[in-house]
């Protein structure tokens, strides 16, 4: 163990660290303590905090999915900053107001844009598989400056938090991880899931694909949860420029498809696309 880590552990006995972390050690499962330089557990496992404010807690087996690239995160940040998805963000903010006080977890937080107005009001843990997304989220949410906000690189299939310690989980365009959601949510906890609807970006998909893919039907019955609310949020987006259409393509999983033809966007002059989100709110039973 490095000398500075030994000092950090000794400081825990005298209150030298700021407070316990919301995260658990991904190696041994013990609680983590926040130090000036990162996180450390009683068994000496330590995790450095990056300059932007996040910690990397991804260990063990390779993740099941691939995290967003630097280019995808930059494109999404540029696109979201123009407010094109503001209607969905307002819905998520409204849900958070009506939930019990306690820890908020964003499971697949991206660059943190949907959390920006929620995180300052409650203890928040934000996770993403992409270090580029986690870095952007940490900067946006002020993870280095705020005592109540923590951001980490981790897999949503194995989230390093204590069982039953979360009151609200946000899952926005992220994989369904039922076992982990059930483990983490306390009794009466709320899970808000937002996924693309059937018509989401239909105009763009008709341009970039020879055969546009059809979304799979959504399943709303899940073990351990009862569906409290279901809502469709749909509207037309008027893009300001062709560059916005390209940013929209670059930020989505379509940019990874070998069947997509992004070069068609420039010549299509597409300016209007459909935003279509399925929003489901569950309660832990």
Give the 3-state DSSP-derived string for 48-112, with helices as H, strands as E and coil as C.
EECCCCCEECCCCCCCCCCCCCHHHHHHHHHHHCCCCCHHHHHHHHHHHHCCCCCCEEEECCCCC
Structure confidence at residue 65 (pLDDT)? 67
What pLDDT score was predicted for residue 205? 94
Q: Please give the order of strands across the beta sheet that includes 124-128.
A: 55-56, 149-153, 124-128, 104-107, 166-172, 185-196, 272-284, 225-238
11: pLDDT strictly greater than 50: no
> Would you say residue 180 has pLDDT above 60?
yes
Query: Residue 64 has what pLDDT?
Result: 63
User: What are the CA-CA distances from residue 152 to residues 54, 106, 136 (Å)?
Assistant: 5, 11, 11
Whether residue 6 has pLDDT greater than 90: no
Residues 33-52, mean pLDDT to the nearest whole number = 95
pLDDT the model gives residue 121: 87
pLDDT score of 72 more than 90: yes
What is residue 230's three-state secondary structure?
strand
Interval 5-32 mean pLDDT: 69
Position 8 pLDDT exceeds 90: no
pLDDT band at 142 (very low <50, low <70, confident <90, very high): very high
Residue 240's nearest CA partner among 112, 110, 83 is 83
pLDDT in tens, 92-106: 999 999 888 899 999
- Greatest CA separation found in the chain? 65
Q: Structural domains in the chain? A: 1-48 (no CATH), 54-284 (3.40.50.150)
pLDDT of residue 38 exceeding 80, the answer is: yes
Quick: pLDDT tens for 183-238.
999 988 999 999 999 999 999 999 999 998 877 767 777 889 999 999 999 999 99
The mean predicted confidence, pLDDT, of the chain is: 90
pLDDT > 90: percent of the chain? 77
pLDDT-based confidence at residue 19 (cuts at 50, 70, 90): confident
């Amino acid at each position: 163990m490095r000398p500075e880590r030994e000092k950090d552990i000794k400081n825990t006995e005298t209150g030298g660290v700021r407070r316990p972390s919301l995260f658990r050690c991904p190696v041994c499962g013990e609680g983590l303590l926040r130090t000036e330089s990162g996180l450390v557990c009683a068994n000496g496992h330590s995790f450095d905090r990056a300059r932007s404010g996040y910690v990397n807690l991804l260990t063990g087996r390779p993740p099941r999915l691939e995290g967003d690239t630097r280019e995808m995160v930059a494109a999404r940040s540029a696109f979201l900053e123009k407010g094109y998805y503001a209607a969905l963000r307002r819905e998520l903010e409204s849900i958070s107001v009506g939930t019990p006080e306690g820890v908020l977890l964003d499971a697949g937080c991206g660059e943190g844009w949907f959390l920006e107005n929620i995180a300052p009001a409650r203890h928040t843990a934000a996770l993403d598989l992409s270090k580029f997304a986690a870095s952007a989220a940490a900067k946006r949410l002020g993870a280095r400056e705020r005592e109540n906000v923590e951001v980490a690189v981790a897999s949503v299939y194995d989230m390093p938090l204590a069982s039953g310690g979360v009151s609200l989980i946000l899952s926005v365009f992220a994989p369904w991880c039922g076992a982990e959601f059930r483990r983490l949510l306390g009794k009466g906890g709320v899970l808000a899931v937002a996924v693309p609807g059937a018509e989401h970006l239909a105009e763009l998909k008709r341009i970039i694909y020879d055969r546009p893919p059809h979304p799979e039907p959504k399943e709303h019955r899940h073990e351990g949860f009862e569906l409290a609310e279901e809502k469709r949020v749909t509207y037309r987006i008027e893009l300001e420029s062709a560059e916005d259409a390209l940013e929209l393509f670059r930020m989505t999983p379509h940019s990874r498809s070998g069947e997509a033809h992004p070069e068609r966007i420039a010549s299509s002059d597409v300016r209007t696309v459909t935003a279509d989100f399925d929003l489901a709110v569950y309660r832990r039973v």
